[in-house]
């Protein structure tokens, strides 16, 4: 799975600032570049959604109920949609326009959206793997990355094949930019 490669590629162990600096130098292929890492924190690729978003008078939303990769801008969009869905329901109940039963629909309506969001964002992560591999980004060895990039300068079939792989990788990310629908839930 693509996420496993990213975890391996960006795992910096006991001295994360030094290793992250060296990793950046390796990526650009120049050890003479002065890089200062101010802070390093761990981030894990997640595919997690709560089974339910409310229990009695307790309502949860946003990062409390789902964790996923940062693709498509779906995290903040969904958080706002969760808040809006809950806010109008609370307003209607508090103003006595409807009964308290309306609040039970919050989890029923929003939890399936959370499932769709984590599914979509994790697929978005996997969709990027092809173009990243085509340009050598997934190669841990700097010399292998340089060799992959050099293929783009080849005058013949090697260049055509490498560019085709890159183009197919970019085409594979189409749902990220042309897949409207889930963002509107």
pLDDT by residue for the chain (185 residues), tens digit each? 334 444 344 555 678 888 888 888 888 888 898 888 888 777 777 788 999 999 999 999 988 898 888 776 667 788 899 999 999 999 999 999 999 999 999 999 999 999 988 888 888 888 888 999 999 988 888 899 999 999 999 999 999 999 999 999 999 888 777 656 665 55
d(CA 99, CA 48) in angstroms, rounded, equals 32
pTM score, two decimals? 0.68
Token digits for 169? 């990788």
d(CA 61, CA 39) in angstroms, rounded, equals 29
Residues 6+ apart with CB under 8 A from 82: 53, 61, 62, 65, 110
CATH architecture of residue range(s) 48-126: 3-Layer(bba) Sandwich (3.50)
Helices 74-94, 105-127: inter-axial angle, 10-degree rounding: 170
pLDDT of residue 22: 86
Where does the chain show beta strands of DSSP type E?
48-49, 54-55, 58-59, 66-67
Per-domain boundaries in the chain? 1-44, 48-126
């Amino acid at each position: 799975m693509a996420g496993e490669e990213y975890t391996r590629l960006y795992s910096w162990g006991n001295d994360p600032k030094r290793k992250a600096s060296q990793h950046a130098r390796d990526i650009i292929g120049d050890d003479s570049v002065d890089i200062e890492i101010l802070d390093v924190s761990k981030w894990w690729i997640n595919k997690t959604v709560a089974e339910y978003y409310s229990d009695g008078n307790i309502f949860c939303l946003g990062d409390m109920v789902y964790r996923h990769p940062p693709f498509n801008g779906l995290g903040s969009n969904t958080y706002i949609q969760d808040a809006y869905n809950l806010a109008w329901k609370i307003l209607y109940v508090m103003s006595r326009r409807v009964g308290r039963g309306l609040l039970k629909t919050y989890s029923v309506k929003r939890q399936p959206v959370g499932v769709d969001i984590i599914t979509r964002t994790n697929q978005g992560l996997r969709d990027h793997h092809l173009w990243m591999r085509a340009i050598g980004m997934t190669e841990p060895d700097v010399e292998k990355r340089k060799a992959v990039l050099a293929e783009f300068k080849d005058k013949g079939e090697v260049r055509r094949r490498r560019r085709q792989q890159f183009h197919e990788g970019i085409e594979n990310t189409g749902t990220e930019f042309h897949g409207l629908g889930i963002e509107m839930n």
